[in-house]
Amino acid sequence: MLTYLLTAFSGPAAVFMYALLAVMAFAIAVVIERSVTLLRYRCDPEPIIARVDAAVRGGTTASLALGATPLEEVVRAGLAWHDPDLAWEAMAAASVEAELKVRRRIAYLSTVASIATMVGLFGTVYGLILAFGALGDVAAAERAAQLSEGSSTAMATTAFGLLVAIPALAAHALAEANARELLGNIERVATRLILSLKAARQS
């Protein structure tokens, strides 16, 4: 299979194969960048919730040390206000920026899958055109060569297109699931912070 695909990089299928190779390289770059970034953004919300709650009850929110993850940035925005309503609005504004950071470039992977499929299909159609062209008034030897070349182009571009598209879709699903988990943790911590502020205000 690999040898067959490598052979397709020369001949009529070359332009489609190199286009798919470029799309695949872009997808790999996005996967690596997003994997590293989402791994860096991950943090256990429970210790943060406990620290925030203790700081609010003790009135020491100004000295609470937080990191630079989107979750902690949202918490920091809320801690800047003692009024629960203002804190919630501040965190809502910060969460928009946090979501942009978390979901940045993830949608590209779905687009890559669609483009790879379409390029592969385009190569398939082109290969079939070459193959059907052999049915005209040409010599038998030339007809066999053209049929073989057209069929090879169609099959190679289809296979390589799917080889790029399927992992890109899987990577998109995985990255989106991780992003939803991170954003869910942000909402969870923000809600607990508001409850802590309201409890501190009533006591």
pLDDT > 90: what percent of the chain? 51
Cβ atoms 23, 112 nearer than 8 A = yes
Give me the chain's average pLDDT, please. Answer: 87
Between 104 and 65, residue with greater pLDDT: 104
* Residues 12-40 pLDDT 10s: 888 999 999 999 999 999 999 999 999 99
Q: Tell me the backbone φ, ψ of residue 15, rounded to 5 degrees.
A: -60, -35
Q: How confident is the model at residue 134 (pLDDT cuts 50, 70, 90)?
A: low
45 within 8 A of 75, measured Cβ to Cβ: no
- Joined together, the tokens standing for residue 191 give 């809600």
Note the pLDDT of residue 102: 93
pLDDT digit string (tens) for 102-114?
A: 999 999 999 999 9
CB-based contacts of 55: which residues, under 8 Å, 6+ apart? 61, 63, 64, 79
Question: Which of 56, 98, 99 lies closest to 79, judged by CA?
Answer: 56
Whats the size of the chain, residue-wise?
203
pLDDT digits (tens, 9 = 90+) for 145-189: 677 777 788 888 999 999 999 999 999 999 999 999 999 999 999
CA 35 from chain centre, in angstroms, equals: 9
| Dihedral sign (CA 117, 122, 125, 127) | negative
Evaluate if residue 1 carries a pLDDT over 80: no
Residue ranges of alpha helices (H) inside 42-139 are: 45-58, 70-79, 84-103, 106-133
